Chain A
Amino acid sequence: MKFKADEIASVIQKEIEDFRGQIQTAEVGRVIEVGDGIARCTGLSNVMSGEMLEFPGGIRGFAFNLEENSVGVVILGDYLKIAEGDEVRSTGKLLSVPVGEALLGRMVDPLGNPLDGKGPVLTSETRPVEWLAAGVAERQPVKEPLQTGIKAIDAMTPVGRGQRELIIGDRKTGKTAIAIDTILNQKDTGVICVYVACGQRASSIAGVMEVLRANGALDYTIVVAATSSDPAPMQYIGPYAGAAMAEYFMYKGKHTLIVYDDLSKQAVAYRQLSLLMRRPPGREAFPGDVFYCHSRLLERAVKLNKELGGGSMTALPIIETLEGEVSAYIPTNVISITDGQIYLEPDLFWKGIRPAINVGVSVSRVGGNAQTKAMKKIAGSLRLDLAAFRELEAFAQLGTELDKDTQAQLDRGYRMVELLKQRQFGPLHVADQVVAIYAGTKGYFDKVPVAKVAETEAQLHEFIRTEHADMRDKLVKEAALTDEIEGMLKKALEAFVARLSAKA
């Protein structure tokens, strides 16, 4: 097909003929000082807090401090192009970002500008970055499960749709890996995912993008990236912008999952902004409202009531601790805001227990209601059993001779720990998780050498999938371990164990 130049010219001509320009009215002020990503301006006598402002050259900013004689403005863009005496215009709008289906599969900055070189984001809808969380009457309790695909989490610290579950741990303990696995596991479930990278290295974000793309997860995922080289204001608004993008889908009745990676860096960016704005510093030099900064963000994760479409936003905030110090300011704040935490430990990680979840300290305050019946039935005592095992293990290390029962309990424990290990980017369906954990707790793995548990587990999944697909389908469909299914499962496991011993 050829373009018709005349047609295009006539369309443009008509547009110009019909165009009636309006007089633009705006409140203006002037920059008195600028630097480090913030500006102080005079004038702007009627500007609102949080209102979007425009500097020459289209650079945007928002009013952060309203003072007696001046307005403190946070600059979202290149502040080096702004000079003293420049005119600032108010826009009468709150800071907003583009939202909609067009963002799926894209990587954007916190203002919604594309970063992936795939052209403009074609959407006409926008949403304010700051949005008041749904009120009490607009919510309903968390009751549907959000499967992470990770055995240790789905069994012991289950996450429900609309829950806020913190992932906390030192550097290099696999925090992001858990979040990414969870996103990968949402494939074909209709859950829209938003991954907000805040203060991360650009190379790790590129790595995450590649993993999402390679696993086909980009079709339902939006990546909002504010790297550590972006100015502090961008890192500060990144999580709010991501929440706005997820809210668009949530209020349309869809289920969404948002990962904030990570909020400790956002708090640091906010501290920088506040100190530059001369707000008084408090503990660890964070401003007094750093708690509100996180609480209003995480409150936006909700399970909406039926009248509003029943959509949900599940939040997985990530916090990085220093040397396991959970009693620092930001970790305690976020722990108290969220509905539970998954605590990762470097010791476990280096022992090879990955995901390195400390089962004793990790909790989920609301997820239990959301667990499937099957999982609830088999995982009920798992946490206590593991705790008992850890105690025994410490005791056994003293070299005392053990009676037969204790030894058996220890052996079972070693195998359960092995069974809860899981490789990265390998999320398991909840039915497979139920089969594996059932087999472990009921002793079907007792004869398998500890080093071979992982291999045998893989064989078990293969065996169930190929030879007992009807049982698995039933388990998937009913999501409960009825007597009938349990009977079938027992039979299948006995057959599997028989085959194993025949091989050996």
Chain B
Amino acid sequence: MSELRSDSRPDSVLEDPGALAVSTMYAQSYMTAAVAAGSTAPEEELNSLIDDVLAKFPEFRDLLMSDLIGRDQKLVILDRVITPQCSEFFANFLRVLIRHGRISLLPMIRSVLVKLQEQAAGKQRIRVRSARPLSGSARAKIVDHLKSTFGFEPILQETVDASLLGGVVLQVGDTVYDSSLRSRLKQLKGRLVEKAFNEIQSGRDRFSHPEGD
């Protein structure tokens, strides 16, 4: 449900990691089952359901995801409304979700599925933060460098953060490569303070008696 209501949700608020783990499991199974069932584009039906049906009929979405409606009733509604229009394979997938009480994870399953498909195609999303919008040549340079270093096709997700002052910050998975001007200045400050420590001490000693107080 989280993604459908993303308008009221700030970016900083994260997905529940438990739900994410469950969604990943369903997305993986869906992909594997789709291959076995001979479906070539399993995401097509899923996207269409979310974008064309659930987004356009919010009452229907709430009905499907509400805890007030029993699973059996939901199955009946599903069979009447959706099953006649979709493949048997996709209908089965929805039935499993309803029976397990996981239908509310549908949007999250979609986003995980997209990522899994990208990974399967040798692509990975990289978050790029820079002080100013990247120029075309800079972007190409970053993409080339990432490709040669990591060996995958990067998909850049760019954000502009003026507080970085300059340089870029790349995030690959959980690892951040920070070469922004802000962090370099911070490093420089730390080094100057460290060097100045002894100077401060000797400066202080000048004002005290050499024999001690």
Q: In the complex, A217 Cα to B207 Cα: how many Å?
A: 24
B209 to chain A, nearest CB (A): 16
Would you give 18 A-B contacts (Cβ < 8 Å), ordered by A?
A15-B191, A15-B195, A19-B187, A19-B191, A21-B187, A24-B176, A24-B178, A25-B175, A26-B176, A30-B12, A45-B173, A84-B13, A85-B11, A89-B176, A119-B204, A120-B197, A122-B200, A124-B197
Per-residue interface assignment for chain B, residues 17 to 33, with 1 indicating a CB less than 8 Å from any chain A CB and 0 otherwise:
11011000000000000
Which residues of chain A from 134 to 153 have a CB within 8 Å of any chain B CB? none
Q: Chain B contacts of A12 at CB under 8 A?
A: 192
Q: Is A29 an interface residue (CB 8 A)?
A: yes
9 tightest CB-CB pairs across the interface, nearest first? A85-B12, A69-B17, A21-B184, A24-B178, A23-B179, A43-B174, A28-B176, A45-B174, A42-B17
1/0 per position for A1-25, CB-CB distance to B under 8 A?
Answer: 1000000000010011001011111
- Please, what's the 1-or-0 string for A39-72, where 1 marks a CB less than 8 Å from any CB in chain B? 0001111100000000000000000000011100
| Interface residue range, chain B | 20 to 34
- CA gap between A174 and B18 in the complex, in Å: 51
Q: Given A19-B191, A24-B178, A25-B178 in contact, is the A32-B197 Cβ separation under 8 Å?
A: no
Nearest A residue to B179, CB-CB: A23
**Contact: B179 with A42, CB < 8 Å?**
no
Q: Is A27 an interface residue (CB 8 A)?
A: yes
Q: Once the chains bind, are A15 and B201 in contact (CB under 8 Å)?
A: no
Complex: chain A residue closest to B173, CB-CB: A45
Is B188's CB under 8 angstroms from A16's CB? Answer: yes
Given the complex, which residues of B lie within 8 Å of A417, measured CB to CB?
none
Q: Measured between C-beta atoms, what is the minimum distance from A66 to chain B in Å?
A: 13
Asked if A83 is at the interface (CB within 8 A of a chain B CB), the reply is yes
Q: Which residues of A contact B192 (CB under 8 A)?
A: 12, 15
Q: Please, how many angstroms separate the alpha-carbon atoms of A86 and B10 in the complex? A: 12
Q: How far apart sit A27 and B178, CA to CA, in the bound complex (Å)?
A: 11
Measured between alpha carbons, how far is A30 from B11 in the docked complex, in Å? 12
A65 to chain B, nearest CB (A): 13
Hey, which chain A residues are within 8 Å of B187, CB to CB?
Answer: 19, 21-22, 24
The residues of A that contact B198 with a CB separation of less than 8 Å are 122
Given contacts A1-B206, A25-B177, A27-B175, contact A70 B12 (CB under 8 A): no
Cβ of A18 to closest chain B Cβ, rounded Å: 10
> Which B residues touch A119, using CB under 8 A?
204
- B117 partner residues in chain A, CB cutoff 8 A: none
- Asked if B176 and A68 make an inter-chain contact with CB atoms under 8 angstroms apart, the answer reads no
Give chain B's interface residues, CB within 8 Å of chain A: 10-14, 16-18, 20-21, 171, 173-179, 183-184, 187-188, 191-192, 194-195, 197-198, 200-201, 204, 206
User: Are the C-beta atoms of B176 and A25 separated by less than 8 Å?
Assistant: yes
Chain A 371-387 per-residue mask, 1 if CB under 8 angstroms from chain B, else 0 = 00000000000000000
Of all chain A residues, which has the CB nearest B180?
A: A24
Chain B contacts of A27 at CB under 8 A? 174-176
Report Cα–Cα, A22/B186, bound state, in Å.
Answer: 11
Known interface pairs A23-B179, A85-B13. Does A29 touch B174 (Cβ–Cβ under 8 Å)? yes
Q: Provide the bound-state CA to CA distance between A1 and B207, in Å.
A: 11
Evaluate whether A69 and B20 lie within 8 angstroms (CB atoms) in the complex, with A15-B191, A16-B188, A84-B13 already known.
Answer: yes
In angstroms, Cα B188 to Cα A124, docked, is 17
- Residues of A within 8 Å of B16, CB to CB, are 32
Q: Which residues of A contact B174 (CB under 8 A)?
A: 27-29, 43-46
Expressed in whole angstroms, the Cα–Cα distance for A42 and B201 within the complex equals 42
Pair B183/A32 contact, Cβ less than 8 Å:
no
Given contacts A22-B187, A27-B174, A69-B20, 18 further A-B pairs with CB under 8 A are: A15-B195, A21-B183, A21-B187, A23-B179, A24-B176, A26-B175, A27-B175, A27-B176, A28-B174, A28-B175, A30-B14, A84-B12, A85-B11, A85-B12, A85-B13, A122-B198, A122-B201, A124-B197
Q: Name the residue of chain A whose CB is nearest to the CB of B16.
A: A32
Q: Given A1-B206, A69-B20, decide whether A85 and B14 contact each other with a Cβ distance below 8 A.
A: yes
Q: Interface readout for A82-116 with B: 1 if CB under 8 Å, 0 if not?
A: 01111001000000000000000000000000000
In whole angstroms, what is the CA distance A19 to B183 when docked? 13
B21 and A68 contact, CB distance less than 8 A? yes
In the complex, which residue of chain B has the Cβ closest to the Cβ of A29?
Answer: B174
- Tell me, rounded to whole Å, the shortest Cβ–Cβ distance linking A85 to chain B: 3
Inter-chain CA distance A42–B17, complex, in Å, is 7
Q: In the bound complex, what is the Cα–Cα distance between A2 and B18 (angstroms)?
A: 64
Chain A residue contacts of B184, Cβ below 8 A: 21
**B184 — nearest CB in chain A belongs to which residue?**
A21
Q: Name the B residues within 8 Å of A1 (CB-CB).
A: 206
Could you tell me the distance between the alpha carbons of A45 and B171 in the complex, rounded to whole angstroms? 14
Task: From the candidates B18, B173, B191, B194, name the one contacting A69 in the complex (CB within 8 A).
Answer: B18
Contact A69 B21 (CB under 8 A): yes
Which residues of B have CB within 8 Å of A43?
A: 174
| Residues on the A chain within 8 Å of B197, using CB | 120, 122, 124
Give chain B residues whose Cβ lies under 8 Å from the Cβ of A83: 12
Residue ID in chain B nearest A90 by CB atoms: B174
Query: Which A residue's beta carbon lies closest to that of B176?
Result: A28
